[in-house]
Amino acid sequence: MSTADPTGRAGPPDEAGPEPDADVIVVGAGFTGLAAAHELALAGLRCRVVEAADRIGGLAATFPVGDRQLERFYHHWFDSDREIFRLCGELGCEDLIERHPTSTGVYHANAVYRLSSPLDVLRFAPLPPADRMRLGLSAVRAGRVRHWRELESLTAEQWLVQLGGRRAFEVVWRPLLEGKFGTYAPEVGATWMWTKLHLRGGSRSRAGREVLHYLRGGSGILLEAWRERLQHLGVELHTDSPVRSVLVGERGVTGVRTREGTLRARRVLVTTAPGLLADMLDAAVGAHPALPGLVRRLRSVPYLANLCLVLENRRALSDTYWLNVTDPAFPYVGVIEHTNLDTPEHYGGRHLVYLSKYLPVDAELYRMSDEEVYRHSLPHLRRMFPGFQEDWVHRYHVWRAEHAQPVITPDYSRRVPEVECAVPGLYMSSMAQVFPEDRGTNYAVRHGRSAGRLIADRIRTRAHAGLRAAATEEAQ
């Protein structure tokens, strides 16, 4: 293998040259990248993980609140999240998983309505009684859909109107879709909405109340245990090391270029958003005939960013965990009071609130400074919670993620990128590929492990083929 030139081109991966730095380089140390590295290490392969941020965890990376760690972006698990539960068991964290009954509501027309149970839906005053009944039956009807392919050609709007009627859609669903996806709302596929209803509908107590899971101590406890396990298995973890380009030659991948220099490997797994991988391939686009088409396909998946304002409050805003917002004048689509899931006593008595908004990176709110975001939010909080005072806020934090939500459109299965790319040695695994499910740590672990096993299998197959060829040659 030869060293790459400044254009990103490099010699064929099987040519004689310097020893590779790893059998596989994994780009990204979120849950997907860590899960893939775990599988690769278990297969006995040398794996190096390179992460642009200063810590591992991706969207589940944490920051200190008192003597605890809290996720920068809200996280919880459902009853069906078996992959993450299995990982917790492997890492000795299973006893820390706690099951919490939660409350859900909606902020509509300057009032908060509880929507945690079927009875709450029947009391939802903004809809006439007949439409409340239809809204309540929507989850039941959604649960009868056995396969997402039944819905793939429909938009979320078309399907939701079929389920609960036009009035319920206009009052409840349209504002939520527009609040989350903005101008993309009419393009969102029914499969995305089905996943949401299916997950929440299946994570309930016998009384019909939603039940969610959270790890005592948060994702930071799991990530630290995982780091230790990966290092024990020989995985090299490098943070604060952004990848500038993936190096490709005529016969496939030859490595990556980071800020520190070139890392050589014949197989690279990229776990970022597809558009970011396209950027990493730009310099090499003429090096392999499959690259132009691959780059176009990667750029065809639109993403939204996320901004989270996290408040450390001295008092609770409400007794609701998850408050959906249908008011277009409110700058956030969700108010998630974390300490109505996990007790404030775990955070020195502070009440923790996430204010979440999905938006384009050029949106005004996203481009504000942290202080401007906070100041802009205060009058809206006072309107939603009349008793709220600024002196309740002990501290605030603003977190941004440029690639937080892929936009899932009708017939998305025709657009979703493959794990094994057309360029030999190049693989990708991202939240855009967990379809038909939506993003989440559970599916990140599942998809990352699957990608790691696939790569290990390809390496074993090639090794066995090489041994057979050598034996045949020797026999001749």
Three-state secondary structure call for residue 204: strand
Residues of 408-443 as b/e, b for ≥16 C-beta within 10 angstroms? bbbebeeebbebebebbbbbbbbbbbbbbbbbbbbb
- Given pLDDT bands bounded at 50, 70 and 90, which one contains residue 450? very high
Beta strands per DSSP E along 11-67: 24-27, 47-50, 62-65
Q: Could you tell me which residues come within 8 angstroms of residue 172 by beta carbon, excluding any fewer than 6 positions away?
A: 106, 108, 127, 135, 326
User: Does 17 have pLDDT greater than 80?
Assistant: no
192 contacts 320 by C-beta, under 8 angstroms:
no
User: Does 471 have pLDDT greater than 90?
Assistant: no
The model's pLDDT over 208-266, given as tens digits with 9 standing for 90+, comes to: 678 999 999 999 999 999 999 999 999 999 999 999 999 999 999 999 999 989 999 99
d(CA 360, CA 143): 32
* Annotated domain spans of the chain: 9-58+220-301+410-475, 104-211
Q: Could you tell me which residues come within 8 angstroms of residue 338 by beta carbon, excluding any fewer than 6 positions away?
A: 70, 74, 321, 352, 353, 354
Give the tokens for residue 5: 């030139």
Q: Fill in the amino acid letter for 69.
A: Q
- pLDDT of 146 reads 82
Chain-centroid distance, C-alpha 134? 31
- Given pLDDT bands bounded at 50, 70 and 90, which one contains residue 141? confident
- pLDDT of 467 reads 60
Three-state secondary structure call for residue 3: coil
Peptide bond into 274 cis (omega under 30): no
- pLDDT of 1 reads 32
Mean pLDDT is lowest, of 356-370, 395-409, 456-470, for 456-470
Residue 376 CB neighbour total at 10 angstroms = 14
- Averaged pLDDT of the chain: 91
d(CA 454, CA 420): 9
Eight-state DSSP code of residue 319: S
Three-state secondary structure call for residue 170: helix
83 contacts 452 by C-beta, under 8 angstroms:
no
Closest CA to 444 of 203, 226, 271: 271
Give domain 104-211's CATH architecture. Answer: Orthogonal Bundle (1.10)
- pLDDT of 119 reads 86
The model's pLDDT over 76-87, given as tens digits with 9 standing for 90+, comes to: 999 989 999 999
The model's pLDDT over 410-430, given as tens digits with 9 standing for 90+, comes to: 999 998 999 999 999 999 999
Residue 148 CB neighbour total at 10 angstroms = 19
427 contacts 268 by C-beta, under 8 angstroms:
yes
- pLDDT of 137 reads 87
Mean pLDDT is lowest, of 72-76, 162-166, 209-213, 452-456, for 209-213
**CATH classification of 9-58+220-301+410-475, choosing from 3.40.50.720, 3.50.50.60, 1.20.1560.10, 2.60.40.10?**
3.50.50.60
| List of long-range contacts for 113-121, beta carbons under 8 Å, 24+ apart | 114/320, 115/324, 116/209, 116/210, 117/207, 117/208, 117/209, 118/208
User: Does 11 have pLDDT greater than 60?
Assistant: no
- pLDDT of 443 reads 96
The model's pLDDT over 321-367, given as tens digits with 9 standing for 90+, comes to: 999 999 999 999 999 999 999 999 999 999 999 999 999 999 999 99
At residue 104's C-alpha, the angle toward residues 100 and 108, to 5°, is 165
